[in-house]
Every structure is written in structure tokens, then in C-alpha cells.
């Protein structure tokens, strides 16, 4: 763990900088796979599943029989936990439903918006060392609430050709329409272009490794929308002298176990906190099954000592973390100063794990500093706002001359004339 004490503000840009990967060769590989999937469809997807996931698939679609089998394999306790999480996620996202109203901007000019669901969405759920069934709930639940007509899910199968049963149970609970056994770049290509089995969607959601992220960004240039750009997961903890050291260490480690490229950042006003957190992290680290992975992430972690809480929140805002945990006595006051963060956790009992699973907020969040400009996934992510306007004769009288003058000033005569002919019909003089 790298300790930085009282850095000058001129050093902050370097402190908050994320690692930059050379993706030039990776992008070529991704482009090649995407082109093949676009050309050959299912055959290409099955070929890459054999090559990368080492499984020979006769079909890509998950059958109803496999769905029922998964139900029997998931314990009643886990199923109940998934139901609790789904209820909370559903409750929170239902509260975000848009209620538009008609506004009369001028006499006879009425404008309004209507929220319309994206008809077809694709969800990518990683498998590998940590099959993220919680992400199924986070992505499918708001899609269902929004009213998306088709919710397509792709996830890599195991070597037995089966999808993790908890993923299938979560998908059924959340209302997924169709599930396919496909991972990596080939899954993104299948949803972006459509294949003989996999429907083409209009927007793709979900996390993944650097190949998946590169694939999402490439298909977003011409073929399909995506939720957001993304990098490795990250947490920033701000702690003062009142912080619970055991909790702080546990929060840092819960992030570090995601992967060796996870970002772990502690900002504190106390030298003693740095020393105590180091010792407690080492103690807890020895108890983790994913110890080696977490240790590698911690090698690049930063523990930063600053002179005040104002400086701490300024540094955090410069970092723009995916997750921000405020383990400070006056967390409400500090929270009011947060301007760049994906999701914020207030007080010693609000751990990142709560938001990752069951508090109700969405865990699909902007990383790599994108919290300066992007929101996390929410109900609006699955909707479009269509604007409407209605003009009466009074409306033409109210704004007709202004429209005509502005169009003429921009030298767009056809625009001016479209309004002018209406004004003439109504005997409205220039």
C-alpha cells in the first residue's frame, strides 16, 4: 500500500490518475471477432465459445428445462436473499418513474415530454471467477419497470455447458425475456448485430473485462447504444479519527478482492488511522479466500494523509470514485460537498456491499473518473424522452414573428417560410 502524506494540490492529478493500458492490439482482436460474428452469426459465436470458454454448444439459448433445473439447485436461503434484494431494487427504481406535465410557454404554445421505454435491451453478465447474479437484478429489474418489451441476457457458460444457476434464478425473478450462453466479445457482437438465435438490441448494459469494454465501445460507434464507458471497479474511503478501523479495512478489502486491477483509495485526516488501517488490512487479508488477488490490488492502493476534511472531499471530487464511503463523524455535512461520485455510502454502517447487493440502489456505476460526467444505471437509462408541442392560432401569433426573424438571420429561408405561410393564412402581419 502506497502512503502519501500531505501532497500539494499540484500533485493531485498524478495521485488520482488511473493506470492506462495499451489497447491498440486488443482493439484489433476485438474488431476481428466482432466482424466475424456480424458475418457468420451463431456459428461464429459457438466457435469463440469453444475457443475461449472451452465448451462445445449445440445451441445458444437456455431452455426452460435448464431454468427449472437451476431453481432446484439454488438453496432456499439464497433464493430468499435474491427476492429481498429484488424487492428493494424494484422499490427504489419504481420511485424514479417520470411524470411529465404540459407547459404553456406562451399563449397557444404547449410543450411536454413523454417517457418511452427502449424496446429491446441487452444485458451482459460476466461469469468466470465470480458469476455476478446480483448484476442480473441490477440491470433487469429497472428494464422491466421501464417497460422494455424484450430483455436479452448473455452470459458465459461453464465447461459443462451450463449457466450458473443463481444467474438463471435471478433472471427469472427479474423478468428477463431470453437468455443465451455467450460470453466476451462474441456476446456483445451477437446483441449488437443480431444472429440466427440472438435478437439485435438497441442498447447494451453490463460490466466486463477489458475485451468486453472495448467491444462495447466499438459497437457503440455505429450499431447500438451502451450504458457507459467503464474501467476496473474502485472505492474511495474518507476516514477521520472517529472511524471504525475494522470497518474501514473491511471496505478496502471488499473492493480489492474484485480483481488485481481494482482501485483502492483511502483519504484520512489522521496519521494514526493510516497506521491502524495498514495493520488491520494485513490481519483481515490473511483470512480471505481471494487473498492473492486482493494483495495484488492493494500493491497499487493509495493511503493519503490530508490536513482537513475539506481537503479530503476536494481530493475525492478530483478522483471521482465509483464508490465513496464517508466514515467521518459529521458525514451529512461532508456528503453535501460531494459533486463527483457514482454512489455514496454514509456513516460507519453503510458498507459498499449493501449497495452491491440489497439496499436497493444500483451497483452499475461509472468508473475510471467518468463520474464527473456520467450517472450510474437508473430507470432513465432504459427510457427515452420524446418531446411534444402543440400550437394553436394564438400560438402562431405568440411566436410566429420571432421564429421568422431567427430563421432569416440564420439564412434558412425554408424554415422562415414554413412559419410565414401559417402567419399569412391567419392574416398575421410582419
- Residues belonging to the active site: 322-323
Please indicate if the annotation marks 233 as binding a ligand.
Answer: yes
Please indicate if the annotation marks 242 as binding a ligand.
Answer: no
Copy the grid coordinates of residue 297.
Answer: 490490488
For 358, other C-beta atoms within 10 Å of its C-beta total 18
Any idea what the Cα angle at residue 63 is, between residues 62 and 68, rounded to 5°? 110
Copy the grid coordinates of residue 258.
Answer: 474484485
| Beta-bridge partner residues of 104 | 110
In which element (H, E) is residue 238 found? strand 234-239
d(CA 381, CA 373): 14
Quickly list H helices, 124-205. 133-146, 165-174, 184-193
d(CA 363, CA 430): 57
Please indicate if the annotation marks 240 as binding a ligand.
Answer: no
d(CA 391, CA 307): 59
Please indicate if the annotation marks 222 as binding a ligand.
Answer: no
3-state secondary structure of 239: strand
Please indicate if the annotation marks 316 as binding a ligand.
Answer: no
Query: What angle, 0 to 180 degrees and rounded to 10, lies between the N-to-C axes of helices 76-94 and 165-174?
Result: 40
Please indicate if the annotation marks 278 as binding a ligand.
Answer: no
Please indicate if the annotation marks 356 as binding a ligand.
Answer: yes
Q: Which of 294, 316, 290 is nearest to 369 (CA)?
A: 316
Q: What is the largest CA-CA distance in the chain?
A: 85
Q: What are phi and psi of 123, to 5 degrees?
A: -115, 125
For residues 340 and 315, the answer to whether their CB atoms sit within 8 Å is no
Quickly list H helices, 74-195. 76-94, 133-146, 165-174, 184-193
DSSP state for residue 130 in the 8-state scheme: S
For residues 264 and 304, the answer to whether their CB atoms sit within 8 Å is no
Please indicate if the annotation marks 300 as binding a ligand.
Answer: no
d(CA 297, CA 259): 7
Q: Label the pairing between strands 109-117 and 383-391.
A: antiparallel
For residues 66 and 158, the answer to whether their CB atoms sit within 8 Å is no
User: Which residue ranges are tagged as binding site for Zn(2+)?
Assistant: 255, 258, 356, 415
User: Which residue ranges are tagged as binding site for substrate?
Assistant: 233, 255, 258, 323, 356, 410, 415
User: Which residue ranges are tagged as binding site?
Assistant: 124, 186, 209, 233, 255, 258, 323, 356, 410, 415
User: Which residue ranges are tagged as binding site for NAD(+)?
Assistant: 124, 186, 209
Amino acid at each position: 500500500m502506497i502512503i502519501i502524506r500531505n501532497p500539494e494540490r499540484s500533485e493531485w492529478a498524478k495521485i488520482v490518475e488511473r493506470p492506462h493500458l495499451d489497447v491498440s492490439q486488443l482493439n484489433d482482436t476485438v474488431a476481428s471477432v466482432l466482424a466475424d460474428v456480424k458475418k457468420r452469426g451463431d456459428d461464429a459465436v459457438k466457435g469463440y465459445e469453444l475457443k475461449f470458454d472451452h465448451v462445445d454448444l449445440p445451441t445458444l439459448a437456455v431452455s426452460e428445462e435448464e431454468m427449472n433445473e437451476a431453481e432446484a439447485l439454488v438453496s432456499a436461503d439464497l433464493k430468499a436473499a435474491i427476492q429481498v434484494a429484488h424487492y428493494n431494487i424494484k422499490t427504489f427504481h419504481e420511485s424514479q418513474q417520470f411524470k411529465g406535465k404540459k407547459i404553456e410557454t406562451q399563449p397557444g404554445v404547449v410543450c411536454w415530454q413523454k417517457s418511452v421505454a427502449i424496446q429491446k435491451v441487452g444485458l451482459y453478465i460476466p461469469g468466470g471467477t465470480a458469476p455476478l447474479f446480483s448484476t442480473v437484478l441490477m440491470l433487469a429489474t429497472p428494464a422491466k419497470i421501464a417497460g422494455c418489451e424484450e430483455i436479452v441476457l448473455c452470459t458465459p457458460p461453464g465447461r459443462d455447458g451450463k449457466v450458473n444457476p443463481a444467474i438463471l434464478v435471478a433472471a427469472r425473478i427479474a423478468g428477463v425475456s431470453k437468455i443465451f450462453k455467450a460470453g466476451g466479445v462474441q456476446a456483445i457482437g451477437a446483441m449488437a448485430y443480431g444472429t440466427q438465435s440472438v435478437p439485435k438490441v438497441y442498447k447494451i448494459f453490463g460490466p466486463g473485462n477489458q475485451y468486453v469494454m472495448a467491444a462495447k465501445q466499438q459497437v457503440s460507434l455505429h450499431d447500438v447504444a451502451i450504458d457507459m464507458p467503464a474501467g476496473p471497479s474502485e472505492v474511495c474511503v474518507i476516514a477521520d479519527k472517529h472511524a471504525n478501523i475494522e470497518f474501514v479495512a473491511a471496505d478496502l478489502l471488499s473492493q480489492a478482492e474484485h480483481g488485481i486491477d481494482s482501485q483502492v483509495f483511502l483519504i484520512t485526516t489522521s496519521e494514526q488511522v493510516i497506521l491502524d488501517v495498514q495493520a488491520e488490512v494485513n490481519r483481515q487479508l490473511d483470512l480471505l479466500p481471494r487473498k492473492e488477488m486482493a494483495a495484488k490490488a492493494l500493491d497499487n492502493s493509495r493511503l493519503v494523509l490530508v490536513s482537513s476534511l475539506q481537503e479530503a472531499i476536494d481530493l475525492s471530487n478530483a478522483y471521482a470514485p465509483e464508490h465513496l464511503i464517508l466514515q467521518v463523524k459529521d458525514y451529512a455535512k461532508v456528503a453535501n460537498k460531494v459533486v463527483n461520485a457514482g454512489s455514496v455510502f454514509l456513516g460507519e454502517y453503510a458498507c459498499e456491499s449493501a449497495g452491491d447487493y440489497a439496499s436497493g440502489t444500483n451497483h452499475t456505476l461509472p468508473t475510471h473518473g467518468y463520474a464527473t460526467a456520467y450517472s450510474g444505471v437508473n430507470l432513465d437509462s432504459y427510457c427515452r424522452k420524446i418531446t411534444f408541442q402543440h400550437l394553436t392560432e394564438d400560438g402562431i401569433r405568440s411566436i410566429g414573428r420571432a421564429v421568422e426573424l431567427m430563421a432569416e438571420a440564420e439564412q434558412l429561408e425554408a424554415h422562415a417560410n414554413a412559419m410565414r405561410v401559417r402567419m399569412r393564412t391567419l392574416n398575421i402581419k410582419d
